[in-house]
Amino acid sequence: MQSNKELVVEPIGLDVETLPKPIDWREMFGNDHPVEMEIGCGKGTFITEQAKARPEVNFFGIEWARWFWRYTSDRLRRNNCMNARAVRADAGFFLREHVPNDSLSVLHIYFPDPWPKKRHHKRRLIQEPFLKEVERVLKPGGRLQVVTDHKDYFEHIEPVVRKSKLKVIDYNRPGSAAEGEFVGTNFERKYRREGRPFYAIAAVKE
Active site residues: 113
Q: Is beta strand 104-110 parallel, antiparallel or unpaired with respect to 138-148?
A: parallel
Q: Which amino acid is at 191?
A: Y
Under 8 Å between Cβ of 71 and 102 = no
Separation CA 126–CA 119 (nearest Å): 16
Among 115, 119, 195, which residue's Cα sits nearest to residue 152? Answer: 115
- For residue 158, what is the enclosing H or E element? helix 151-163
Separation CA 81–CA 75 (nearest Å): 9
